[in-house]
Amino acid sequence: MSDKRIPRPASPKKAAASRANGAKSRGPLSLEGKARSSMNALRHGGYTDAILLGNEDPADLEALYADFAARFNPIGLVEIGLVEEMAAAHWRIRRYWFAESATLDLEIINQQPDFERKFEFISEPTRLALAIAHFTSQGSQALEFYHRVESRLRRQYSRALSDLIKTQQLRVQRQPAALPPEPIIKNDETNPPESQPPISQPLPVPVIPPASINVHQRPDPPLVLPSDNIPNRVAS
């Protein structure tokens, strides 16, 4: 008999508590935490196994996806899946670029004996043209196949990018609006009134009262000047 213990199912009370705690979780909040969460989805979802060939390095694909995740900041499995689709299309487009170059290189190598027998000197562009002409004359669909695959992958990338933008815009629209800031209440204790510079006022103009006149005071006699018309008194 096996010594392994059979796990017991959780009680309804414990299961309800687990669901409640899970509902409170909003996932990582920082950009670093979101990037780690996206990489966990990449590793545990079989993403690399579905994309990579045996001679391709998983670290290169993970670095590519990390760059895409940092650029588009996906939140939730839907957005993460769209970013994965974009990274996969990007990876495969470049794979077929290498495959097309390798196909032409092989044909150039195969034609090397004919080049040496027919030509004393042949340039590299001419060798490439003869390799392409070989595929065209033989009715080979290799180059056309690469071009069709690249076009399909480009449409896949553009469609995933468009869906990602719409999904993120919808998520932002569904978020609750931010509350307006609370008004600042000023009082003498917490916010004393700001001191203002004194207002300069004009100096008062002195008022000079009019001279007072006493009605009971006799005025001074008029000043009589000597005149030639008054005869001189003769002494008696």
What are 63-106's pLDDT values in tens digits?
A: 999 999 999 999 999 999 999 999 999 999 999 999 999 999 99
The answer to whether position 188 is within a domain reads: no
The answer to whether position 154 is within a domain reads: yes
What are 215-235's pLDDT values in tens digits?
A: 555 555 565 555 555 555 544
Residue 122: Cβ-neighbour burial (10 angstroms; 0-12, 13-18, 19+): middle
The answer to whether position 120 is within a domain reads: yes
Give the number of domains in the chain.
1
Cα distances (Å, whole numbers) of residue 233 to 21, 205, 225, 230: 141, 58, 16, 9
pLDDT at 1: 45
The answer to whether position 224 is within a domain reads: no
Q: Which residue's entry shows tokens 């009971």?
A: 216
The answer to whether position 102 is within a domain reads: yes
Query: What number of helices (H) and strands (E) belong to the chain?
Result: 8, 0
Q: What is the domain extent for residue 102? A: 27-174
pLDDT at 6: 44
Of 202 and 223, more confident: 202
Q: Kindly give the residue spans of alpha helices, DSSP state H, lying in 111-198.
A: 112-118, 124-137, 142-174
pLDDT at 218: 59
pLDDT at 25: 46
Of 48 and 231, more confident: 48
Identify which of 120, 55, 47 has the alpha carbon closest to the alpha carbon of residue 89.
Answer: 47
